[in-house]
Amino acid sequence: MSATATCPPAETTRHRVDVAFGMAIFIGAWSMAFLTLFLSFLIIRHRQPQWPPPGVMLPSLGLAAAGTAVLLASSVALHAALRRLRAGARGFSARWAAGLLLALVFAGLQTALWTGTWRAGAYPDSGIYEGLFYMLTWFHGAHVACGLVALLWVAGAAARAGAPRLSTASSVAVFWHFVDALWLVLFVGFFLV
Amino acid sequence: MTRLLLNSGAALALLAAVAGLLAPGDEAAQDEHAAPASPAAGPHARAPHAVPLTITQPDQLLAWVKDIERRAADEPDRFSQQDEVWVDARGEFTWDEENEVYWQAVPADLLTRGRQDFVQFCASCHGLQGDGYGRSAQGLRPPPRSFLRSTFKFTKVPGDFLPNDDALVALVQHGLDGTPMLPWAVSKERLREIVQYIKSLSPPEEGWHDGTNVIGNEIYTPDDPWAGREDEAVAEGEKAYHVNQCWSCHPAYVPVAELNSLRGVDAATTYDAKLTYGKLKTDSSYEVQGYAVAIPAPDFTWHTLRYSRDARETFQTIAAGIAGAGMPTWGRTSPEGKGSVPDETIWAIAHYVRHLVDTYHGKTAERAAFMAGVRAEP
Amino acid sequence: MRGGTTIETVRRPRAGLLGALPALLGLLLAPAARAQDVVHRWAPNPPASSYGERFDHLFALITMLIGVSFAIVLVLLVVPVIRDRARPGHKASFDHGSSLHDKRFTAIVSVVVFVVLDAWVLWVTMKDLREGYWNIPRPDVPDVLRVELLAQQWSWNFRTPGSDGQFGTADDIVTLNELTVPQDRPVVINESSKDVIHSLYVPDMRVKRDANPGSINELWFQPVKSGDFQILCAELCGYAHYQMQGKLHVLPQEQYDAWQTEASRIALAAWDENDAEARWAWEFKE
Amino acid sequence: MSGDHIHPRPTSFLRRYVFSTDHKVIAKQFMWMGFVWLFVGGVMAMMIRWQLAHPGVPVPLVGKLFYPRSSGAVPPDGYNTLFTMHGTIMIFLGLTPLMIGAFGNFCIPLMIGARDMIFPTLNMLSFWTLVPGALVGLFSLFVPLGAAEGGWTAYPTLSSTIGTPGTGETMWAISVFLIGASSIMGGINYITTTVRLRAPGMTWGRLPLTVWGLFFTSILNVLFLPVIGSAMILMVLDRAFGTSFFVPATIAHGGGGDPILYQHLFWIFGHPEVYILILPAWGFVGDLLSFFARKPAFGYKVTVGAMAAVTILSAVVYGHHMFTTGMTAMLGESFMLLTMIISVPGEILFFNWLHTLWRGNLRLTSSMLFAMGVIFVFGLGGLTGIYLATISTDIYLHDTYFVVGHFHLTMAASALFGTFAACYFWFPKMYGKVLSERLGKLHFWTTIIPLTIVFCTMFVSGYGGMPRRYYDHTGNPYTAELQWLNDITTVAAFVLGAAQLLFAWNVIKTVAGKRTAAQNPWEVGTLEWTVPSPPPHHNFDSIPLVVTGPHEFSNPAIRDGKDWIYQTEPLAS
């Protein structure tokens, strides 16, 4: 939808609050979806006589931990970029690009995690543990992919128009923080505990 | 006041909902009560995703027909002579020069539809590979038919012939009483396609893939000679049943003394304890998972007979015999042929069996009295 | 006898659109044209289990309560249509209904309705559940008949312990779609399923419970009348969900004993020790 | 779209009609899609009824088209697909687009005094996510190995590859996921618009009940459709990748999940879903009764409170769908108590409707007839819910035709009558053309009578013990005795089906006709009647200032002989 089509409303504070409100409901809805999946994971796990099931190949903890660190770093970078945008200072694009780069690194780590586990012979249908692992990480991976597209979109807008609209940038950052929080809960719930 | 009620209700509910979700499966927790020690997850424990659905290789099913002339006489409308090529009313038989047989071509898309309907309707018991070991067949006795053996028990076609399509379709639409084989409400056209697929399952050089096998017809069924004289037939049948030693597999239904007198042997011969019970036939050629399943011969006053709802069906089951289950073909395959037991006797035995089923099956008191009399002990 | 109407055998397909007209006409006359030999029934048969009439009493109670409430609703609906119909000179009364009096009146009416319609029925059903449906006899009750049911796609496999009272032994009586139980003795059934979810439903015993694969459900009933009762499947389980029928035979005590000894003997005669797969019994869950 | 900035009207055909972001155009797109799918679902219902009354007889007219391989008769797998798709289509593709999509989009901006929805692009995306969802559902019918056959509830191990190995069920799950996503987008849009874009003076106390109904529906949409989305993700993973979330360990190597878990997940969404379908109808009826009884809605705040209570409680009462699956006693009884409690707000609402009619000045237009039809039908359906709430009666009645009668009366009939009432009422505003009243009244009477016969006969056959989802009831002696009830239901169902053609003809005839509707034909005061019909692209020339409530009818303070007042006109105190 080209921008002229709906000629986006003026960037008034009222509009910014509207977007923030809409974003809050969106995050609420998606957290309900994730909560359902996580609760199902807990229930299935509770039903298993032994967890993790004996003789199962545990996905590598190192990669997951590295991913967590990288993801947190990318969120910090995005937050710094937003502070610059709000203050009207210059450094927004650089920090936003750093955040984007870290996100790409995280995506790389995730794919490494998947291919490693897959090549080690743990397929989704080889057991309930692997099934849950793939389900949770794939669901999160899908959101990482959407987040990457959004980050690119904002980076593109920043490149073209000097600085993106604050409401768009802040909502994408909020979405990325949400994806970050999802990963933390997942990392603790599946890998550590 | 209603608000107070609502809030307390909501709090209770949230607690209940979460507890319910986390409750260990309502006392059916996996650990202390092992869920049914149902047989170990069989080879087809789960439908594989890659269910082979479409049949692409062009070599269709070759149904060999040898004695084309005899069958033309039986069913004039089925075959019409157009110069050299016999045209079956439903398809096309072509003459194969060097094998001197007629064969029927079944196109691949028809087999595909048959395969898909087979997976939908039949695979749950007969298995996705058609080997008779489906998910619902675990622990089922008698076990479902395996189509890799191309022997069929109740098609009313004598054992040494291959059943023709109509016999198989009729069998599926009739269903086998007392077994999970249902009288399927599937249309004849779809059943014909499923049957073509089932025929294509027979292993190479066997069943329908063996050119020398002959596709037989329904057993020759003369009219009932005893029509109107049922009680005479029952008396004659009782005598014939015991003289022809049906009791070597099925239970005997007369006291030992009368049995000896009927057989004309001296009165002192004794029999083993299982005389009045259905014997376990271990020589049946039917296996499940490599283990030859022994099938007890039915006790007519107790078990539900699978394919004899009336005297005619009973006659045909006896005459055609049950392939692979130790029941030989007693009747004659064609009007000229000679059966090992005259038709009239088979009809009498059929009436006798129907008599046993009608008077004692499901009637506990009458049966107990009758069997006590036969066994002459409590 | 499982009849079921197969497609070709019973009715001839008519040709083309013109053929549809008699079908449409037949549609309207269908009720009359149907064979009259079938008994026309609308209510369930009288209950045949010990807690069966609890359902009938509660159903009648709720019907009465709901009938009265719906009558009141109809009156409150019809009267305004007749009396307050718009006509020249007729004025509507102005009443926002937000006064404290109205709110209190609404609260009182809703509490009264809750007590009359809901609380009363709740009390009755909780009593029924505790004394009847969920009052599953404990193992120490001597004459309980224990039954293990393994439902499969489109049939019921029943297993009773036979005369030695133990499951998994040579004399277990395994029947398909037929369950024979004594009269006036509690029957406790453990249900499970081989493949999909089924639900054992015996309308005359007013009992229904799902048979879930992977877990064991318990249900119990005590037949008070002898005879044959229909078993149906109440949870969608695939194409032949409607053909998954069975018969529950209830016999007087002495006939049942004769039947059981005979069945055990026949099971012993047909016992084949190396057929491990046929012994699918599990440890009975109390 | 806030503030007074008016956007130019789009020019290209594509922008104006196909990918339009104008809430009124999107409303019409949803409406026509809803009508088409209601017709498809209706035809399926007729085929189900035909098969039940005449098992094995080829279906007249359309039989050969659908089932050539069984010469027109419905085969068993075809029958399972029929009632599965009938349920899915009627709920997800028929009623939801009509009630929430069409009237939500049309009414909310106009009634709260806004120029458009707050996120117009998201609004357009919501419609264009529903269309692929519908198409995937449609194509799942023509996939080898049959379409979805697990019922609209698709309980696993039947809906897993064990019970339905085909790809149809997977496509069905994906289509439900897409429809869920579309409803979530719609929900976000409606909530934000209602909260943020109300005209000055339009306080929460002056919102019409229609907007309240749609607001609560959107809250339920946003909260509970993600739950079905996740359940569908789990099911698709189970079917396509062989995971075993719903396949127990004892029947599959590598298994581990629990089919009952899916039932919990489905019904956590399922019960709020039936309230999603009924809340808009409650909103329409609350308003329409007041509009046509020329009398303020009785107890406006209590009605809104009751709707809020139902919204909150709907999350925790879902257990009454699973009484016979073997839940523990404590869980079963707590759900029973909660189901009884949730019937109280429903009853309060009911009480307020009847009180609104009392001593009113009833104008019995067809829209009013349908609104009162909702009272009749929801009364009948709601009250019979008590049979199914108490466990000891539910044990006998579960999964019988009693349940079918109950949920059709409460969910299908009430929602349908609410939709018809809304159609007759807002059609003049949407198209500037009034639907013919004569045809409307005829349509009402030829619908409510057969509908009552159909679903009350279902109560009787359910009480007689006829289980649900049976392909052929003449097969066993027990249900064969109830077959005569099937015949009556089928005849009444065909009459009901034919009656809907009246409505279709009425709509098509009016849309094709010329514009005759006045700006305010029903003399009602809510904001959408202050603009010409059909309203211009930007709705309001200047954002109105609201000073009075929506239901100030027959207020003595109104001067000059009228018995109604616009919300923008002050009441002389």
- Identify the closest residue of chain D to B16 by CA–CA distance: D331
pLDDT per residue as tens digits for the range D501-534: 999 999 999 999 888 888 899 999 899 999 988 8
**Angle CA A7–A12–A13, to nearest 5:** 140
CATH hierarchy code of domain D13-530: 1.20.210.10
Q: Are D186 and D100 in contact (CB under 8 A)?
A: yes
Q: What is the pLDDT of residue D234?
A: 94
| Cβ within 8 Å, pair A43-B22 | yes
Q: Are D366 and D444 in contact (CB under 8 A)?
A: yes
| Cβ within 8 Å, pair A49-B22 | no
What is the rounded CA–CA span in Å between residue B191 and residue D69? 10
Name every chain B residue with its beta carbon within 8 A of the beta carbon of A48.
Answer: 30
User: What are the extents of the domains in chain D?
Assistant: 13-530
- Identify the closest residue of chain D to C91 by CA–CA distance: D361
**Pick from A154-163, B23-32, B328-337: least confident:** B23-32
User: Which CATH entry fits the domain spanning B230-375: 2.60.40, 1.10.760, 1.10.3470, 2.30.30?
Assistant: 1.10.760
Q: Are B137 and B39 in contact (CB under 8 A)?
A: no
- Least CB-CB distance to C216: which of B28, B124, B296? B28
- Identify the closest residue of chain D to C191 by CA–CA distance: D326
Q: Does residue D317 have a pLDDT over 60? A: yes
Q: Does residue D1 have a pLDDT over 70? A: no
Flag whether residue D76 sits within 8 Å of chain B, measured between CB atoms.
yes
Q: How far is D203 from chain C (nearest CA, A)?
A: 17
| Cβ within 8 Å, pair C283-B274 | no
pLDDT > 70 fraction of chain B, expressed in percent and rounded: 76
Q: Any bridge partners for residue C174, and if so which?
A: C159
Name every chain A residue with its beta carbon within 8 A of the beta carbon of B22.
Answer: 42-43, 46
pLDDT per residue as tens digits for the range D458-510: 999 999 999 999 999 998 899 999 999 999 999 999 999 999 999 999 999 99
What is the rounded CA–CA span in Å between residue D424 and residue A22? 33
| Cβ within 8 Å, pair D255-A128 | yes
| Cβ within 8 Å, pair B277-C269 | yes
Q: Are B184 and B172 in contact (CB under 8 A)?
A: yes
Mean pLDDT of all residues in B298-318: 90
Q: Any bridge partners for residue C151, and if so which?
A: C156, C193
Q: How distant, in Å, are the alpha carbons of C87, C232, D442, D508 from that of D288?
A: 19, 46, 19, 24
| Cβ within 8 Å, pair C55-D343 | no
Flag whether residue B204 sits within 8 Å of chain A, measured between CB atoms.
no
What is the rounded CA–CA span in Å between residue A52 and residue A57? 9
- List, in order, residues 6 or more apart from B209 with CB less than 8 Å away: B62, B202, B203
Q: Best residue in D390, D456, D483 to probe C by mutation, most C CBs within 10 Å?
A: D390
Question: Phi/psi of residue D434, each to 5°?
Answer: -90, 135
Q: Are B151 and B277 in contact (CB under 8 A)?
A: no
| Top-confidence residue, D147 or B355 | B355
Q: What is the pLDDT of residue D437?
A: 93
Omega prior to D534 cis, within 30 of 0: yes
Q: How far is D147 from chain C (nearest CA, A)?
A: 13
The interface predicted TM-score (ipTM) is 0.89
Do the strands B291-292 and B287-288 form a parallel or antiparallel pair, or are they unpaired?
Answer: antiparallel
In the three-class reduction of DSSP (H, G, I as helix; E, B as strand; rest coil), residue C144 is classed as: coil
| Top-confidence residue, B81 or D571 | D571
Mean pLDDT of chain D: 91
- List, in order, residues 6 or more apart from B206 with CB less than 8 Å away: B150
Structurally, at CATH architecture level, domain B61-209 sits in Orthogonal Bundle (1.10)
Question: Phi/psi of residue C202, each to 5°?
Answer: -115, 95
| Cβ within 8 Å, pair B6-D345 | yes
pLDDT per residue as tens digits for the range D378-425: 999 999 999 999 999 999 999 999 999 999 999 999 999 999 999 999
Q: Does residue B19 have a pLDDT over 50? A: no
CATH hierarchy code of domain A14-192: 1.20.120.80
Question: Phi/psi of residue B94, each to 5°?
Answer: -115, 150
Mean pLDDT of chain B: 78
| Cβ within 8 Å, pair A47-B21 | no
- Identify the closest residue of chain B to D67 by CA–CA distance: B187
- Cα distance between the two ends of chain C: 34
User: What are the extents of the domains in chain A?
Assistant: 14-192
What type of residue is D82? Answer: L
Q: How far is D9 from chain C (nearest CA, A)?
A: 41
Residue with the two structure tokens 């609308």: C42
Q: Any bridge partners for residue B95, and if so which?
A: B102
Q: Does residue C240 have a pLDDT over 80? A: yes
Please give the structure tokens belonging to residue D109: 């901006």
| Cβ within 8 Å, pair B30-A48 | yes
Q: What is the pLDDT of residue D498?
A: 94
| Cβ within 8 Å, pair A29-D223 | yes
In the three-class reduction of DSSP (H, G, I as helix; E, B as strand; rest coil), residue B80 is classed as: strand
The domains found in chain C, sorted by start residue, are 43-75+103-135 (no CATH), 145-271 (2.60.40.420)
- Identify the closest residue of chain B to D326 by CA–CA distance: B26
What type of residue is B79? Answer: F
Chains that touch B (3 or more CB pairs under 8 A): A, C, D
Q: Does residue B20 have a pLDDT over 50? A: no
What type of residue is B89? Answer: A
In the three-class reduction of DSSP (H, G, I as helix; E, B as strand; rest coil), residue C147 is classed as: strand
Q: What is the pLDDT of residue D485?
A: 94
Read off the pLDDT band of B36 (50, 70, 90): very low
Please give the structure tokens belonging to residue B138: 């675990």
Q: What is the pLDDT of residue C9?
A: 34
What type of residue is D378? Answer: F
Residues in chain D: 573
Do the strands C173-176 and C155-160 form a parallel or antiparallel pair, or are they unpaired?
Answer: antiparallel
- Identify the closest residue of chain C to B281 by CA–CA distance: C270
Extract the residue ranges of chain A whose pLDDT is less than 50. Answer: 1-6
Query: SS3 letters for D414-481?
Result: HHHHHHHHHHHHHHHHHHCCCCCHHHHHHHHHHHHHHHHHHHHHHHHHHHHCCECCCCCCCCCHHHHC
What type of residue is D501? Answer: L
What is the rounded CA–CA span in Å between residue B304 and residue C247? 13
| Cβ within 8 Å, pair B6-D348 | no
